[in-house]
Structure 1
């Protein structure tokens, strides 16, 4: 029930904020011809793209078309919004999903190991490294990877998803995806790992685990049967609440590496006040966050049915 009003509020907020933007949409549409364009040319562009339309009217019009299945026309891409999303969404979803899966697996495994050995050298070293990575923005990680692995060592391509003039191929996409994948994964691991570690430390100190140890249960059996099921729940809950950061991080990484996802389209649509594309991307992101939160809750119930009793 919360999803529908949240989606509506996000959409109206996007239109309102875009209307208050300091960017001049005419400059984006006319490009290099902006300074030399006559008033008649400017008026023609304004009328063609409804740039003088009030944002609330544009919002109502957008919803009216959306309910009929029409996402509108992207003035920045000169093609239907549906085509823009269809072309670029697989790149964004593929990269984000792969990085999220890798970060989750690494964080859960490493967080469980260091949590079970709290205070040891490995725990201190990994915790310090994670705390350091938390403070490093994704674009810094991206630039370092480009500088070291792409420019200095020449191991991977610097940007894009294919060589100029070449068609998209599986090998080309995978080779170009290595660096953005590493950057996005590294940006997500720290907060997942630290959450998992803290949950494991708390679980180890619980009465249930003490009782299990008193019965002679230890090692892998203790971790798998008594510590991990309880400790994973906070990590899953965090996944749902931190999805906006995943989307923001993906946008930054895509921009740095020139990955042909939706990030650049989002930036261009915001600058040019391309309401149709901007609203579709923003509302779509909100829906993905809501869906991710619901899935993380469902996964928590599946792992530990007792959650249903307190829900």
Structure 2
């Protein structure tokens, strides 16, 4: 098992390197550069060129990339071309709010999807089954931005009981209660999306397992249906579900970009959009590196979950 994970970590190194190269090429292909956002167009060409020299944008693309790569290997992601703050500090400051809503949304989504998916499979074609399937399709079909704007209109504008954005009330005392109040709407949107996706997977996986011969044998031996479903069927049904759950973290990480823009949540998603709009190359490279690492870590956690759910996988390493 240890050898397998070490091999996966070694494979991750060229993957991360390839991601950074592709991201850098895409940025170089984009029109304009950060100087366009930093200086007035009325400045003389000499002043604009001096700014380009200061930022190192006069160097060939491969020199700029190698310079960034060398600093990154030393733990230095550079400085923001807009705010001149260390990129690592900017990302760490924004990571906490993003992980907060992502973590809560993932847990709530799974707490809804797994029990509802199991009940839907065990009571196939019942009213509960139709309700779960309909709710699943609604959760998947409704775009995050549409649901978010709808919730803002209902709860913030019409009923005026929840804040429409931000992480705390401006001029207020703050505190946990205030943060939780601001979290409600973005968490609802992300939770609906997570639950909608996973109800279908849990239901279909359970339906496939419930028809297996060994479960009929367990019932024939007189085991109660609760034990048949939760002890024998559930563990085997989780194996294909683990694959889907392993991709939830990267999907949530990407979905946070839209949600944080709509609700003005000060996290990684909002930072990504502002960095793209301002052509802040250093921050964009740092964010892309973090996103790639999130995907790799999610895949490693998925492999660990496989070994926990199915001992046969662990013994095969």
Q: CA RMSD in A?
A: 1.8
CA 1:310–1:198 in 2, change beyond 3 Å: closer, same or farther?
A: farther
Pairs within 5 Å for 1:39-50: 39-50=45-56
Report the TM-score, using the length of structure 1 for normalisation. Answer: 0.93
- Distance in 1 (alpha carbons) for counterparts of 2:288 and 2:123: 43
CA contact (8 A) 1:18 1:270 kept: no
CA contact (8 A) 1:107 1:192 kept: yes
CA 1:305–1:104 in 2, change beyond 3 Å: closer, same or farther?
A: same
- Distance in 2 (alpha carbons) for counterparts of 1:80 and 1:127: 47
- Distance in 2 (alpha carbons) for counterparts of 1:164 and 1:72: 31
Pairing 1:5–2:14 present = yes
Deviations 1:142-193 (A, max 9, x none): 1111111111111211111112244653222111111111111112211111
Question: Structure 1: which 5+ residue stretches go unaligned?
Answer: none
Offset at residue 305 of structure 1 (A): 0.9
Q: Report how many aligned residue pairs link the two structures.
A: 308
The residue aligned with 1:157 is 163
Pairing 1:224–2:230 present = yes
Offset at residue 24 of structure 1 (A): 4.4
- Distance in 2 (alpha carbons) for counterparts of 1:103 and 1:55: 43
Pairs within 5 Å for 1:162-201: 162-166=168-172, 168-201=174-207
Offset at residue 303 of structure 1 (A): 2.3
Offset at residue 273 of structure 1 (A): 3.1
CA contact (8 A) 2:256 2:268 kept: no
The residue aligned with 1:87 is 93
Offset at residue 300 of structure 1 (A): 2.3
Offset at residue 56 of structure 1 (A): 2.5
CA 1:118–1:53 in 2, change beyond 3 Å: closer, same or farther?
A: farther
Pairs within 5 Å for 1:224-263: 224-263=230-269
- Distance in 2 (alpha carbons) for counterparts of 1:2 and 1:104: 30
Pairing 1:278–2:284 present = yes
Offset at residue 310 of structure 1 (A): 5.8
Offset at residue 125 of structure 1 (A): 2.0
CA contact (8 A) 2:219 2:225 kept: no
Pairs within 5 Å for 1:20-169: 20-30=29-39, 33=40, 35-166=41-172, 168-169=174-175
- Distance in 2 (alpha carbons) for counterparts of 1:201 and 1:54: 58
Question: Structure 2: which 5+ residue stretches go unaligned?
Answer: 1-9
The residue aligned with 2:6 is none
- Distance in 2 (alpha carbons) for counterparts of 1:178 and 1:77: 31
CA 1:123–1:54 in 2, change beyond 3 Å: closer, same or farther?
A: farther
The residue aligned with 2:214 is 208
Which of 122-131 and 235-244 deviates more? 235-244
- Distance in 1 (alpha carbons) for counterparts of 2:222 and 2:163: 53
- Distance in 1 (alpha carbons) for counterparts of 2:311 and 2:61: 47
CA contact (8 A) 2:77 2:88 kept: yes
- Distance in 1 (alpha carbons) for counterparts of 2:271 and 2:309: 38
